[in-house]
């Protein structure tokens, strides 16, 4: 997604964008949490890439709310959302939104889901918020300003050995890719302290930022999965990127405390974890 030609982001203050993003994320979080608590079983409204890649009515309602609030405040910005696609803007500011990261968890009543909103200025993520409505926790960051959890600074762990690292990961929806990811995981497990699979990439990235995980890797993430969480992890001191010198993206996203980043990167490169 790109802004329309001639756009300028000169007047966009990342701190102001974060205030808007956080306020909007909290409101969207209230909406999705209240809708989930109102029913015993949440219905599937549709599917995307596979029958297991689900969408609920709460996903679409939350994205509509977020879009409405952001455009009410900044009508000429761009927008990229998971559910309803992209809108080109003219300001140089683009919003990258996942209304519910961890939809399957949300569907099953598990508390690991989040609202993720990031603001890009001229293609660079400059502000981001990840809000977990179930726990009430909110992570925020502005580029160059550190990472914060509920107003308190957070920092990655001091782990310095991959063998002692608690590592998070995730899996795609395509059966063949999942089989390949499982094969990689079989080689990773003996090399680390243990593995966690929470099912929400934005929260995994924030877990690295907070020192709750020492590292996280996953193939198949989209921009809305990693934009806000990736900034938060990096601002907390994590090494965030892909493999073979590539940036974090669909082929591979890795976030790790510096003491284990090189070891984990080398292992995943040797295993070809960025390839199907």
Q: Residues annotated as binding site for Mg(2+)? A: 82, 98, 100-101, 225
- H or E stretch at 143: none
Beta pairing, strands 152-154 & 166-169: unpaired
List, in order, residues 6 or more apart from 161 with CB less than 8 Å away. Answer: 259, 260, 263
3-state secondary structure of 78: strand
What distance in Å separates the CA atoms of residue 155 and residue 125, rounded to the nearest whole number? Answer: 19
Closest CA to 201 of 242, 174, 233: 233
Note whether 9 and 131 are within 8 A (CB): no
**Alpha-carbon gap, residue 128 to 142, rounded angstroms:** 7
Residue 81 phi, psi (nearest 5): -115, 155
- Where do we find the tokens 């809708």? 35
Binding site per annotation, positions: 82, 98, 100-101, 225
User: What's the CA gap between 259 and 263, in Å, rounded?
Assistant: 8
Angle at 198 between CA 212 and CA 150, to 5 degrees: 50
Whole-angstrom Cα distance, residue 24 to residue 192?
38
Q: From CA 200, how far away is CA 135, in angstroms rounded? A: 14
CA distance 185 to 51: 24
């Amino acid at each position: 997604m790109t802004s329309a030609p001639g756009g300028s982001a000169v007047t966009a203050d990342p701190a102001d964008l974060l205030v808007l993003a956080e306020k909007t994320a909290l409101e969207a979080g209230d909406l999705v949490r209240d809708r989930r608590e109102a029913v015993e079983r949440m219905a599937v409204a549709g599917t995307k890439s596979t029958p297991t890649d689900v969408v609920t009515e709460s996903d679409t309602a939350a994205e509509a709310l977020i879009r409405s609030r952001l455009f009410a405040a900044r009508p000429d910005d761009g927008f990229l959302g998971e559910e309803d696609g992209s809108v080109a803007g003219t300001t140089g500011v683009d919003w990258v939104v996942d209304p519910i990261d961890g939809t399957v968890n949300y569907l099953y009543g598990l508390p690991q889901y989040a609202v993720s909103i990031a603001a890009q200025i001229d293609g660079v993520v400059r502000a981001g918020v990840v809000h977990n409505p179930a726990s009430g926790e909110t992570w925020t960051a502005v580029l160059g300003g550190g990472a914060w959890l509920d107003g308190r600074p957070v920092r990655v762990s001091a782990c310095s050995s991959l063998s002692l690292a608690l590592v998070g990961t995730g899996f795609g929806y395509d059966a063949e890719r999942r089989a390949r990811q499982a094969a990689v995981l079989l080689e990773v497990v003996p090399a680390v302290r243990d593995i966690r699979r929470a099912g929400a990439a934005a929260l995994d990235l924030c877990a690295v930022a907070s020192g709750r995980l020492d590292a996280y890797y996953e193939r198949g993430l989209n921009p809305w999965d990693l934009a806000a969480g990736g900034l938060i992890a990096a601002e907390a001191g994590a090494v965030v990127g892909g493999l073979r010198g590539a940036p974090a993206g669909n082929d591979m996203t890795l976030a790790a405390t510096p003491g284990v980043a090189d070891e984990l990167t080398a292992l995943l490169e040797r295993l070809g974890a960025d390839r199907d």
